Amino acid sequence: MSYAIFKSGGKQYRVSQGDVVDVDKLAQEEGAHAVFSDVLLVSEGGAVKIGTEAQGATVEAEVISQFKGDKVLAYQYRRRKGYHRTVGHRRHLTKLKITGIKA
């Protein structure tokens, strides 16, 4: 089974063909085609290409949807001061379906 590790938005993702993965928001519409050229590792069969050997490899994906992730809450508290505050945020994400890995 072939797989690849690519970088998007400062994070690394291990994917195979047909996988569905959530990455930080990409500026593309639903149904668009995305190509990632920042591939760190490619494995095909038993052969593994790392670093400069994997240069030129690409990961192709289709944008399924743009959505917001789960809410993350942060609670701030100062003891004995009567201070407490709750803040939260939701990350903007893009759901991708991996359509191909080209080494």
pLDDT at position 1 is 79
Q: Where are the domains of the chain?
A: 3-102
Model confidence band, residue 101 (pLDDT cutoffs 50, 70, 90): very high
Q: Does residue 84 surpass a pLDDT of 90?
A: yes
Query: Model confidence over 44-76: pLDDT tens digits?
Result: 888 999 989 989 999 999 999 999 999 999 999
pLDDT at position 40 is 95
Task: Please count the other Cβ atoms lying within 10 Å of the Cβ belonging to residue 54.
Answer: 19
* Cα gap 103→101, rounded to integer Å: 7
Nearest in space to 1 (alpha carbons), one of 47, 45, 42, 50: 45
pTM passes above 0.75: yes
Query: Model confidence over 9-21: pLDDT tens digits?
Result: 999 999 999 999 9
pLDDT at position 41 is 95
